[in-house]
Chains A and B, each alone.
Chain A
Amino acid sequence: MMRASREIRLDADDKLTGAARYATDLVLQGMLVGYIVRSDRPHARIRSIDTAEAESFPGVVAIVTARDAPGRFGEVIKDQTAFASDVVRYIGEPIAAIAADTQESARAAAELILVDYEDLTPVFEPHQALDQKAPLVHSEWESYAAPGVLIREGNVCSRATLVQGDVDSAFQKAKYLIEQTFSTHSTHQAPMETRAVVADVDARGRVTLHASTQHPFGVRAQIAEALGLPLTDVRVIAPHVGGGFGSKLESSVELYAALLARKARLPVKLVNSREDDLSTGNPRHPMTIRLKSGLDADGQLLAREARIVMDGGAYAAGSPVLTGVAVNLATGPYRVPNVRVEALAVYTNKLPFSAYRGPTGPQMVFAVESHTDAVARELGIDPLEFRFRHVYKDGDRAPNGQILQGVGLTDALNSAAEALGWRAKDSSSNGLLRGKGLSCCWWTTTSGAAACSIKMNEDGTLVVQTGATEIGTGAVTAGVAQIIAAELGVELDQIKLVSGDTETTPYDAGAQGSRTLFNMGAAARDAAVQVREQLFQRAADLLEAHADDLEVERGEIFVRGSRAQSVSYAALMSGAMWSTGAVAATGTFLAPPTAHDAQALKGSLYPTFNSPSFHCHAAEVDVDPDTGLVKVQRFVAAQDVGFAVNPTYIEGQIQGGAAQGIGYALLEALHFEDGRILNPNLALYKLPTTRDVPDIQAVIVEHPSEVGPYGIKGVGEPPVIASAAAVANAVYAATGVQITCTPLTPERVYRALHGEPE
């Protein structure tokens, strides 16, 4: 029987005591240190690269450049190579990699690599890149392999659209028309562990990568593609991973360590410094979002138009998928009959922007939910009331044509508003201005294949092999394990988990898109049910009962209704290897595609929000009118999770996500100047500390999904998505000023309050 339970995750002891080993901790015999040499130009032609002097530097064992890895790869569009060969397109793009005996030798040798550049005109901002006369970031864009469904043109690497109904005539009929433009900034994922890998190599050049990754199978595929190797020549193992938040989905340091190890025929460790991680990662997309809404005299939303421009940076990476995600967020979780949305991802000469927890979500929801409040104000309706009138309910049809089911939004709104005391009057003190704000959103549970194997040992204990990677959420070490324990009627400590190894565990599509427990949980349940059937079959003979009449508790099988006779797993397995045989099964899962209106969408690789989840964040802030400083005093995050397998870790996800969301709203920002990041360290890149985040009240709402095992929905990403809009709406409530730009720094708020343009 599956019940919600606050079990302690299986990796807790190791992580709490420091016994857990991370990729950074691994030391292999003869191991070299890898170092990546990077471009200091945003856009330039490479006339020549001379590595001769660096190669003879003492301690240097191998140097690799574009000559060693000419293959093109890319998550969607094959626009990338391991190293810039002909043209560099961003500051920080890899030019060469060095393996040496020490970090110092590698760095000293890097200074000796001579690159002859011819500077090209860079383009840094999407609106400039969209100009007809703008230089092309990829002059050969047409030659790149890419999915046929994508719409591409010059610097636009993806254009996705969603059209439903007739927006123009709806705008003509509308009594109220509200149009606003929002702009959002880039933030960095900042996992505790930077990107790190140790590459080992055998005599035939087959590599094993001990990598701090969210997606071992994805990294394996990308490296095999880049190096032209069969998948059997690349093995990726994720040991304990110190967080990722999207920064460790694609191969980064792994590719360079693999190249160096193959050339040196020695193990190579490559660990990013914090500066490297901050300045060469794949941070959140800066976006410009124009929204226009039409409402009738009764205050009902008739139409929404949206134009979304995403800064994609120098390479497409995940952007062509994320334009499709963004269009599905343009109406918020509200009923709007007429919709016209366009999302563009644009190449620029900045580092590639890609996945960061809930990609495009925080930006889109900041815009849409700030706009929702502005619309409610225009109508003179309370923001909560306006939302109640429009929120999705069971059976509603989203603009992409999908029919919604298990919609917990009204509950989430109600519980968040109640927990915050929405209707209580704001009391301000000490000259501070106080206000409350709300924000809602819906989000997707990403599908993708998952498989899980369960073997029962000779003593009745279990080994579980899952390709899923535990990146800190507890989805694997609590969630998957709890599902198996529940289905097999054993305690959690009877389970040994093996996860995230492309050779010893079956496939998983990665710790991304809030997908792990939804997908791997279903595969694990499938495997556990098969194992249980095998065991019950054997017990049925012993207990002289029908297998259908058996039950199991704490590893003891008995006939339902009578515990007089029972047999334990240990007893069943004792001697089994010479009599009844081994017990093992593999479960698999692939969620069915969600039906939708394919005609409404063009250029989208992410047409539907599968098994969607629903969310409401509510914030109370104090604003100092003399300084513009915003302090979040109270925060509530209500989340419809379908079914909470382990409420403790879900609350942890919600609290951590909201903390990141508050950081995004108020503090964190990557600052660029001519394509260079000005603040690549944690003194100037301001992560919120425990002193900057209030207690976050997590409220779990459960409206089961039809597809997820036990009704569960994805949990991981959405807690970060709705926070910034809730804070911004609270700032409006406190000050009467709407800020349409993130982050809400004191200076920005001060300027807005005092009518000083930026």
Chain B
Amino acid sequence: MTAYATPRSVADVVKLLSERGDAAKILAGGQSLLVLLRQGLVSPQILVSLRQVTELRELSFSQAEGAIIGVCVTQSQIERDPRIRSSYTALAEAASVVATRQVRNLGTIGGNLCHADPTADPPAALIALGAQLEIAGPSRTRRVAVEAFFTDFMEVDLAPEEVLTRILLPPVQGHSGSAYLKFRLRDVDTALVGAAVGLTLSDKGEIRDSRIGLSAAGSTPVRAVAAEAVLNGSPVSDEVIARAAQAAAASCEPFSDTEASDWYRRQMVRVFVQRSTNQALERARAA
């Protein structure tokens, strides 16, 4: 039998985790964990529900600090929030294509990150937006860049006694824009490939501060640093975008499965980085 706990604060969650260690599993929206439980892939002794930890449902914005998104905010809330849609468009777009409406109504942004499925959509968008993750533990609270959070296939930088609490998005200034494009066979599918791009246009019309996140292009969500390097400091041109897309394709390590070969995924990384960059640029110009 699995026990079920409903702590009311982050401190209580951390306390429970510290006591139970590996025997505990955190339950947020349950859209990934329940599948694993049903398939017998995990069998925790205790489920620690975050449902009553109201502080984790925070969703706030400020000019100076940017956005703070509690881990229990659902994909549906994110996709519909006007402030996220206008300032952090890639994230709203990523949230809007997670699985199905039913899953998005229950599934949380934090649960999605901790499940660390390399095909998931929000991680790529958060990489493109330069998100930091806040993690609470018994002795301290720490921050980590989102791309560093994913350590291996479905593994994250989170100790058994730690809990992911908040996602911090930097403020958006100037001519900035972002986009996430997901390629999949059916609307209900995980990404065959997903590409998120965030960037800013300088007064001179050069691209700066670009960030590119990829879904389904490796064993973890991937930041395409080589592609960013091609874009940063360059004036906008089809040739530059094509080179950046090529660099993203060359530097990722996609997998083969029943849906597609690694070779094809690499081609699609190129296509979708290109499309996503164009989309982000269009938004940056309009900003």
Chain A residues engaging chain B, CB cutoff 8 angstroms: 626-627, 629, 667, 669, 671, 678-679, 683-684, 686, 688-689, 691-692, 745-747, 750-751, 756
Contacts and interface: CB of A to CB of B under 8 A. Distances in A.
A683 B189 CA distance: 7
Given A626-B271, A746-B192, A747-B264, 5 more contacts: A678-B258, A679-B258, A689-B188, A746-B264, A750-B267
A751 B268 CA distance: 12
B124 to A, nearest CB: 18
Interface string B202-222: 000000000000000000000
A746 B185 contact: yes
A689 B185 CA distance: 11
B186 A627 contact: no
A259 B26 CA distance: 45
A689 B186 contact: yes
B35 to A, nearest CB: 9
Contacts of A688: 186
Contacts of B187: 689, 691-692
B183 A692 contact: no
Nearest to A626: B271
A201 B69 CA distance: 60
Contacts of B264: 746-747, 750-751
B121 to A, nearest CB: 16
B141 interface: no
Contacts of A626: 271
4 closest residue pairs by CB, A with B? A671-B258, A747-B264, A691-B187, A679-B258
28 contacts: A626-B271, A627-B183, A629-B183, A629-B185, A667-B185, A667-B186, A669-B258, A678-B258, A679-B258, A683-B189, A683-B190, A684-B258, A684-B259, A686-B185, A686-B186, A688-B186, A689-B186, A689-B187, A689-B188, A691-B188, A692-B186, A745-B185, A745-B259, A746-B185, A746-B192, A746-B264, A750-B264, A756-B263
Contacts of B190: 683
Nearest to A748: B264
Contacts of A747: 260-261, 264
Interface residues of B, number: 17
A573 to B, nearest CB: 53
Contacts of B188: 689, 691
Contacts of B185: 629, 667, 686, 745-746
A747 B183 CA distance: 12
Contacts of B259: 684, 745
Nearest to B260: A747
Interface in B237-287: 258-261, 263-264, 267-268, 271
Contacts of B271: 626-627
Nearest to B193: A627
Nearest to A754: B267
Contacts of A686: 185-186, 189
A418 B83 CA distance: 49
Interface string B170-191: 0000000000000101111110
A678 B257 CA distance: 9
B4 to A, nearest CB: 20
B252 to A, nearest CB: 17
A758 to B, nearest CB: 9
A747 B189 CA distance: 16
Contacts of B268: 627
Contacts of B186: 667, 686, 688-689, 691-692
A678 B256 CA distance: 13
A746 B261 CA distance: 11
B182 to A, nearest CB: 12
A697 B265 CA distance: 35
B117 to A, nearest CB: 12
Contacts of A683: 189-190
Contacts of A684: 258-259
Contacts of A756: 263
A106 to B, nearest CB: 15
A313 B155 CA distance: 40
Contacts of A629: 183, 185
Contacts of B263: 756
A683 B263 CA distance: 22
Contacts of A627: 183, 268, 271
Contacts of A746: 185, 192, 260, 264
A261 B193 CA distance: 50
A683 B185 CA distance: 11
A750 B264 CA distance: 8
A217 B264 CA distance: 49
B1 to A, nearest CB: 13
A60 B190 CA distance: 40
Nearest to B264: A747
Most B C-beta atoms less than 10 A away, residue of A627, A692, A756: A627
A688 B185 CA distance: 10
B186 to A, nearest CB: 5
Contacts of A671: 258
B14 to A, nearest CB: 34
Interface in B86-134: none
A686 B259 CA distance: 10
A626 B188 CA distance: 22
A472 to B, nearest CB: 23
A384 B271 CA distance: 36
